[in-house]
Chains A and B, each alone.
Chain A
Amino acid sequence: MHRARLGIRPGTWLSIAALLAAAAAASPAWADDPSAASGWGLLNLPVGVTSISRDVYSIHMMAFWICVIIGILVFGVMIWSIIFHRRSRGAVADVTLVHNTKVEIVWTTIPVLILIGMAIPAAHGIVLIGDDANSQLDIKVTGFQWGWQYTYPGKGVSFVSKLDEKSMAASELDSGISPYSVPHYLRNVDHPLVVPVGTKIRLLIGAVDVIHSWWVPDFGIKKDAIPGYINESWFEVDADKPGVYRGQCAELCGRGHAYMPIVVDAVSKADFQAWLKREAAAEKAAAAANASSS
């Protein structure tokens, strides 16, 4: 697989390697407590917990390293000229150096070859991400101003997921409440999406009012929620990586755009079945209570 491309080890470029090491160290990011993770170390994409997110990460790093290498070569030549071909060092311009067809052909062809090398893994990635066949669980995701509705078709479970009240209160203009005092400020909801790990889950994404975008960086997927459309996307959380994963709406959707987070609680298959049963019963009871009261 193209993941092997990550094997580039430019040992001499210490500063860049150090930067990347810091980035890699910080990658798991906000899966846990964000107040523990200082923002300074957050420099790179998360590797994430799905096959898609790892593939995306490897494509991202491949592109990054190719750019770094080209950058070192091109900037190196520029800096060489700036240092050694300056008039104050007595450089005299070589005015005969105006054209060279061979050189033009070379620096057109080499980039084409590099691009082909980059396009192949990227095309693989597109096919992988697009393959949502054989999913084991469907979930309908509907964006609205401002929150998400999650429906488990045929399971009798459907609920709305909105920004939690503590974040809401602290996010008011001049609220006087420090965002640092709120756990997972703006990244917490009243009712998270619950999914089983080790299960291929297909999302059917739509919207009722304006365009939104469903994005969880640790899953490596982002898909717009568009009125009139049902977009499909899928993910499968690694069986050994249960946990809480956070993201938020990524498409400008009005004044509440910053306030529609996405929280996914990935649990074991057994816990998921238990949760599904509890949730369905609770929703049924709530519906019955509603009907009798009205």
Chain B
Amino acid sequence: MAETPHTEVHAHAEHDHDHKPHGWRRWVFATNHKDIGTMYLIFSCIMFFTGGTFAMLIRAELFKPGLQIVDPGVFNSLTTMHGLVMIFGAIMPAWVGLANWMIPIQIGAPDMALPRLNNLSFWILPFAFALLLSSWLVPGSAPAGGWTMYPPLTLQFGASFPMLIFSIHLMGISSILGAINVVVTIMNLRAPGMTLLRMPLFVWTWLITAFLLVAVMPVLAGAVTMMLTDHFFGTSFFNAAGGGDPVMFQHIFWFFGHPEVYIMILPGFGVISEIIPAFSRKPLFGYEAMVYATASIAFLSFIVWAHHMFTVGLPTSALLFFMFATMLIAVPTGVKVFNWTATMWRGSLTFEPPMLFALAFLFLFTIGGFSGLMLAMVPADFQYQDTYFVVAHFHYVLVSGSAFAIMAGVYYWLPKWVGRMYDMRLGKWHFWLSAIFFNVLFFPQHFLGLAGMPRRIPDYAVQFADWNMVSSIGGFAFGLSQLLFPYLIWKCVRSGKPVEGTKAWEGARGLEWELPSPAPYHSWTTPPTEAMIARGAAH
């Protein structure tokens, strides 16, 4: 990374001695939050393209009716591995990477509180995914029971089964350690004057996310461990013939699984809450309401899990409770959307790539919210459940929600990380191709689901052929468009135009924009001044 001249205004910049280890030791023994953040982001990018390759194969098989490319068993492995790799390998590590890079800088801390733990939590991941991905090579191939791993189906798989369980254990340990580090850092290392209600929204949403992670990852570990003992040690937790209950797995899994979806989206809410004010040149509207709405969503996420399992035969009282609780989530989520809209209202908007991705998030995530509200209606859910309508819904909230928010964050902070500006034109191309083909890919899946196409099938009745072909074309174009993203980053790091001064964006606020660009290897070794904190927290 190139060094830019230090700016006089920032006294702390003098401390930027850059005692970084060189060569492989810098990365293997990394304890610097920026290095670890970078590794997380690169790892996430590799997993994004790995999971994306599986998705391309899925869409290729579904391009027309009949089986042309893969056997149905392999198809099931592809959908399973696509889900696991994207959730645990792409989205979650990307958020931890952004947290590593930005949280210490945004709260005026010199680093994460537990640097060696930080190193461990990252380096577990490559092993976890090496284990998971190598299951393609064992007899019987990769797990094929869906990323939700429902027994008894998942118990039918051979050599890949323990590999799946242990890789989940490793991912869980990594997430828990990362989350502990985030909580400890935010609670203990805030600069003097950085009170909780002055923290940037990204820090707030990550704090709440970290609590969710610590609460639910052990639950997932418990569920898969019970399945492991069912398989190898003769227990019958989920085996009906032995007095167990297959539905109990679903209850435990979704008690983890629903908070998990908020783990993937809440930091995105944070990023969007940074970007929209910056490019509207106006402080975030309703800062405190945003904080409370985030906390409410996190609380509600613990009492809605059974809405993923309305068709398992729940009693009427349970159906009513979980429907009402689920519908309630629309309230704080609505508050967030309204506040973002009010932030843009009477602003002075410009449309650089971070803002474009934030706007795509705002529109498309809201569409995902609408289909979510429809899915909450139990009688209608009996038709939607396990169809492509659900597939469309969760890709609107996870791709145009989480993934677009991650990209928006990278476009926003990349100039601060590397001290260079990227090719704005290329970024806009990436945006327009992504936004258009995302909709070509996923919007028709609403139609397919309503017309009766179940999810997770490699072949379908001919009346579904037309929209599947459209969806596949959108899929290939969306997938190829994503190659622009690493190319743009590589080009920026190699030859981007150096950023002058501390701010890459005129309207940007927060402590990260008080640091020189690129942010020095050791930042905030002297805490930020009260004036800097006040400038950043003007809301």
Contact = CB atoms under 8 A, between A and B. Distances in A.
Interface of A: 29-30, 34-35, 37-40, 42-46, 52, 55-56, 59-60, 63-64, 67, 70-71, 74-75, 77-78, 81-82, 85-88, 91-95, 97-100, 103-104, 107-108, 111-112, 115, 118-119, 122-123, 125-130, 170-175, 177-180, 184-187, 209-211, 213, 215, 217, 220-224, 226-229, 231-232, 247-259
B377 A112 contact: no
Interface of B: 65-68, 70-73, 76, 144-146, 150, 152-153, 156, 240-241, 244-247, 280-289, 311-313, 316, 319-320, 323-324, 327-328, 330-331, 334-335, 337-338, 341-342, 344-351, 359, 362-363, 366-367, 370-371, 373-374, 377-380, 382-383, 385-387, 447-448, 450-452, 454-467, 539
12 contacts: A45-B383, A56-B383, A67-B374, A85-B347, A86-B348, A99-B287, A115-B330, A125-B377, A209-B152, A210-B156, A229-B240, A257-B457
CB-based closest 4 A-B pairs? A228-B240, A125-B379, A39-B466, A258-B457
Given A42-B464, A180-B462, 7 more contacts: A44-B451, A60-B377, A115-B327, A224-B313, A228-B240, A229-B246, A255-B73
A131 B398 CA distance: 37
Contact of B282 (A95, A180, A185): A95
Contact of A126 (B367, B378, B456): B378
B146 to A, nearest CB: 5
Given A70-B370, A99-B285, A130 B316 contact: yes
Contact of A228 (B144, B241, B286, B385): B241
Nearest to A258: B457
A37 B463 contact: yes
A110 B65 CA distance: 46
B350 A59 contact: no
Contacts of A74: 337-338, 341, 366
Contacts of B448: 42
A187 B66 CA distance: 13
A141 B459 CA distance: 24
Contact of A81 (B67, B240, B320, B349): B349
B346 A30 contact: no
A223 B311 contact: yes
Contacts of A130: 316, 319
A55 B144 CA distance: 36
Nearest to A216: B452
A283 B386 CA distance: 35
B331 A112 contact: yes
Nearest to A99: B286
B156 A254 contact: yes
A5 to B, nearest CB: 13
B459 A171 contact: yes
Contact of B331 (A78, A99, A108): A108
Contacts of A186: 65, 459-461
B328 A56 contact: no
B201 to A, nearest CB: 14
Nearest to B69: A173
A87 B350 contact: yes
